[in-house]
């Protein structure tokens, strides 16, 4: 297969990953906003690597030689990690309202863009099916 060849399956897989990533980012940001007044709460974030590791972890892969990279550890809570470098308030909470709203807005935009691309792909398929009649 040529590297420049992009299949329908690859496009659908990429769009699915983008939708999954956006949903994960919105869920984590919503959790942070829900805990904005919780003393000692530390802001969390989801990154594409964490989401991808979670998807790979679902495959139950095993290594057969020592040269292979092991699958992610199952103990990582929901594919999130604590955000580094944020200022803590007196109560130990470091959630920033503006940062979380921006994260949710960006994730919403990413989801909408992937959804629009997916809808366009399905319109093309529907057009191809209807032209055959």
pLDDT in tens, 20-52: 889 999 999 999 999 999 999 999 998 766 555
Q: Which of 11, 32, 117 is nearest to 78 (CA)?
A: 32
Tell me the DSSP string of 3-38.
Answer: TT---HHHHHHHHHHHHHHHHHHHHHHHHHHHTTTS
d(CA 22, CA 14): 12
Task: Flag the least confident range among 88-97, 103-112, 124-133.
Answer: 124-133
pLDDT averaged over the chain?
80
* Residue in 68, 44, 45 with CA at minimum distance from that of residue 56: 68
CA distances in angstroms from 16 to 9, 37, 75, 87, 95, listed in the order given: 10, 34, 25, 35, 29
Give the predicted TM-score (pTM) of the model.
0.69
Choose among 113, 108, 98, 94: nearest CA to 25. 108
Beta strand extents in 14-101 (DSSP E only):
44-46, 80-82
Digit-coded pLDDT (tens) for 60-78: 555 555 554 444 434 334 5
pLDDT band, residue 92 (cuts 50/70/90): very high
**3-state SS assignment for residue 87:** coil
């Amino acid at each position: 297969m040529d590297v420049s060849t992009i299949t329908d399956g690859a496009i659908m897989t990429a769009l699915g990953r983008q939708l999954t990533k956006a949903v994960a980012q919105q869920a984590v940001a919503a959790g942070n906003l829900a805990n904005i007044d919780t003393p000692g709460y530390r802001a969390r974030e989801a990154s594409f690597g964490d989401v991808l590791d979670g998807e790979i972890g679902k495959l139950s892969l095993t290594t057969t030689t020592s040269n292979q990279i092991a699958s992610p550890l199952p103990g990582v809570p929901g594919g999130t990690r604590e955000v580094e470098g944020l200022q803590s308030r007196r109560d130990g909470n470091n959630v920033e309202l503006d940062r979380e709203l921006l994260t949710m807005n960006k994730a919403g935009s990413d989801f909408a863009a992937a959804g629009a691309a997916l809808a366009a792909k399905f319109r093309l398929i529907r057009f191809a099916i209807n032209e055959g009649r």
